[in-house]
Amino acid sequence: MFAFEAAHQLPWHAGKCAGLHGHGYRLEVTVEGPVGPQGIVLDFAEVAEVVEREVVARFDHTYLNDLMDNPTAELLAHDIWKTVEAAGLTVGRIRLWETADSMVEVTA
């Protein structure tokens, strides 16, 4: 489980998300692949290193609207998927929580 804090606003939103506010995002990244000769798919440390460097470091303590036109949880999750795959990992699922009980899931 990874975490980052970030601000955003969704001007099209009819409710309170139109205003500037922040979230403590929680992120789960699942990778896929065959089990190799050493009995693992991928070292957990390698997954963590990629996600921390490519995703958490990029988003943590930012204003997400500076990075994306419409930073909804759904579009963030798709962006994270593409970013992790571009770093060489085969993604099987992304789960992104905006709040303790609001989560989006992207699967292959």
Task: Write out the H or E segment, with its range, that includes residue 92.
Answer: strand 91-99
Q: Identify whether 105 is a catalytic site residue.
A: no
Q: Identify whether 23 is a catalytic site residue.
A: no
Q: Tokens 């939103």 label which residue? A: 13
Q: Which is nearer to Zn ion, 85 or 105 (CB)?
A: 105
Q: Identify whether 98 is a catalytic site residue.
A: yes
Q: Which stretch binds Zn ion (CB under 5 A): 11-19, 30-38, 46-54, 86-94?
A: 11-19
Q: How far apart are CA 50 and CA 30, in angstroms?
A: 12
CB 18, min distance to Zn ion, A: 10
Name 13's Cβ contacts closer than 8 Å, sequence gap at least 6: none
Binding site for Zn ion (CB under 5 A): 17
